[in-house]
Chain A
Amino acid sequence: MAMLQVENLQVFYGVIQAIKGISFEVNQGEIVALIGANGAGKTTILHTVTGLVPAKAGQIQFDGKDLLKTPSHKIVSMGMAHVPEGRRIFQELSVYENLQLGAFTRRDKAEIAESLKMVYTRFPRLEERKKQIAGTLSGGEQQMLAIGRALMSKPRIILMDEPSMGLSPLFVSEIFDIIQEINKAGTTVLIVEQNAKKVLSIANRAYVLETGKIIQSGEAQSLMNDDSVKRAYLGE
């Protein structure tokens, strides 16, 4: 059975149906991408998985447990971290405090210190700026902090929402390298991106969304060579 299994998910905002019966799965060790245009429902799906938005119908199972019946704040301790769209770091707190909050549900101080060291090794910039107020970081650094904060919960799966948004091309490549490294170190990744070209180059599999429905899915490589995907999302 897949690590994360979503079945016939339906989500409404008022009377408007944002997600119209979506099913997909993420297996352990994979990088799975959800691609599609603005408003396709990519962010809504991630928000529903981690309980920020309620579902109308369908099922979401993580390691066989029903996530739709789990309160949002209990999901992170099950091993799922979410790097939300727009980063949403705590602007008024220091870099270090943001990372501390990432480990909010963990109790073992030695293990937390170990994770902190791991995050600082991966992002030396964060260690240099650990006392700095997070809101004063550059966009790229804030994205690093958002990812570092998620890693502090020692997740088995990490959900990433538009990690490249608003970053300079140099940072975009760096962030995608980091995502690949995190995956190689053993964390499963479910990633939502508008930058389809970049994300397909690192993903194992992908699902293409259009106005709340999955219209195509498959190996990332084959999608990259698919004519309709090329035309619609890769700008070729």
Chain B
Amino acid sequence: MEFLAQLVNGLSLGSIYALIALGYTMVYGICKMLNFAHGDVIMVGAYTLSIAMSTLHFPPYLAIPVSMLVCAVLGVTIERIAYKPLRQASPLAVLITAIGVSYFLQSLALLIFGSTQRKVESAINVGLIHIGDFAISGNAVVTLLLTIVLMVGLTWFINHTMTGKAMLAVSEDKGAAQLMGVNVNKTIAVTFLSGSALAAVAGVLYIASYGYVGPYTGSMPGIKAFVAAVLGGIGSVPGAMLGGILLGIIESLSKAYISTQLADAIVFGVLIVVLLVKPTGLLGKKVTEKV
């Protein structure tokens, strides 16, 4: 029973990682860049939630969409200002810029909110769920369910709408997509928009279990989610989902049965092992040379 409870915890933590990893993987798929500022979008989402709920007294069902909207606008703005001018630049320049944006967001939060962590009332409050004499965390179940809904929705969006197919086309061949009449800039903007909105939800869920937000709140889940995306195969949407869930479970079980201090080391260790055995990640595509 104890094991089952840990498994549920792992699944819920993993689904948060998965939601963030989706943003990394979608942006990588389309722009071939690692958006290291993605983790900090979560932090902005969490601050927004906190202001919306405690200062503006918004109910959760309003505060969550507001947070998603703010993050979506932020993601598109970051792309427009920082990354778009570098479309033709070397990958290294883009990577350094992304790290710069990450520091910028953290410093901005530090200036506005100070370094003390701020208590956030949870937007999701579901008590323990009892099944017989076994109790599991209601928040964990809500997190898991919400993530499943979002993932199914995203998968449907990508595979069944023309905008989604345009995203797939752009990620494969920008020039050919343009020849089909696809507006590449708009498609990239949509990618940043949806990835950042998902990150906002992840932020809300993360805060619901963590309870505090600070300027650096986004960096650890951001890095873990990046690991999840690479583990699953960066560029692959199902890969990000699988990688996130696996990572969450590994982390929870390590914490429970091995050592709390070693949990992170184990998580990153798993990444190293997977990359040694299968460098493209679990569901990553084989890189084929175009003939």
Which B residue's beta carbon lies closest to that of A50? B179
B28-39 Cβ-contact flags toward A at 8 Å (1 or 0): 000000000000
- CB atoms of B180 and A76 under 8 A apart: yes
Whole-angstrom distance from the CB of A94 to the nearest CB of chain B?
10
Question: Which one, A27-35, A97-105, A174-182, is touching chain B?
Answer: A97-105
Whole-angstrom distance from the CB of B64 to the nearest CB of chain A?
33
B184 CB within 8 Å of chain A: yes
- CB atoms of A73 and B176 under 8 A apart: no
A97-B165, A101-B165, A101-B166 as given contacts; A73 in contact with B181, CB under 8 Å: yes
- C-alpha spacing A101/B165, complex, angstroms: 7
- CB atoms of A92 and B180 under 8 A apart: no
Give the residue of A84, A88, A90, A166 whose beta carbon is less than 8 angstroms from that of B168.
A90
- CB atoms of B290 and A102 under 8 A apart: no
- C-alpha spacing A75/B165, complex, angstroms: 20
- C-alpha spacing A71/B68, complex, angstroms: 32
- CB within 8 Å of A: which B142-199 residues: 162, 165-166, 168-169, 172-173, 175-184
A73-B184, A104-B166 as given contacts; A52 in contact with B172, CB under 8 Å: no
A21 CB within 8 Å of chain B: no
- C-alpha spacing A101/B164, complex, angstroms: 11
Whole-angstrom distance from the CB of B188 to the nearest CB of chain A?
12
A90-B168, A92-B172, A93-B169 as given contacts; A101 in contact with B178, CB under 8 Å: no
A45-72 Cβ-contact flags toward B at 8 Å (1 or 0): 0000011100000000000000000011
Whole-angstrom distance from the CB of A219 to the nearest CB of chain B?
30
A90-B172, A92-B172 as given contacts; A84 in contact with B179, CB under 8 Å: yes
- CB atoms of B162 and A51 under 8 A apart: no
- CB atoms of A72 and B179 under 8 A apart: yes
- CB atoms of B166 and A90 under 8 A apart: no
- CB atoms of A105 and B181 under 8 A apart: yes
- CB atoms of B183 and A73 under 8 A apart: yes
Whole-angstrom distance from the CB of A6 to the nearest CB of chain B?
18
- C-alpha spacing A102/B176, complex, angstroms: 10
- C-alpha spacing A104/B290, complex, angstroms: 24
Give the residue of B175, B182, B184 whose beta carbon is less than 8 angstroms from that of A104.
B182
- C-alpha spacing A153/B182, complex, angstroms: 12
Whole-angstrom distance from the CB of B289 to the nearest CB of chain A?
12
A213 CB within 8 Å of chain B: no
A86-B290, A93-B169, A97-B165 as given contacts; A104 in contact with B176, CB under 8 Å: no
Task: Given A73-B184, A77-B181, A105-B181, output 16 extra A-B contacts at Cβ < 8 Å.
Answer: A52-B175, A71-B183, A72-B178, A76-B179, A82-B179, A84-B179, A86-B290, A88-B176, A89-B176, A91-B172, A93-B165, A93-B172, A100-B165, A101-B177, A101-B180, A104-B182
A-B contact pairs, 21 of them (CB 8 A): A52-B175, A73-B178, A73-B181, A73-B183, A74-B181, A76-B181, A77-B181, A82-B179, A86-B290, A88-B173, A90-B176, A92-B285, A93-B168, A93-B172, A97-B168, A100-B162, A100-B165, A101-B177, A104-B162, A105-B180, A153-B180
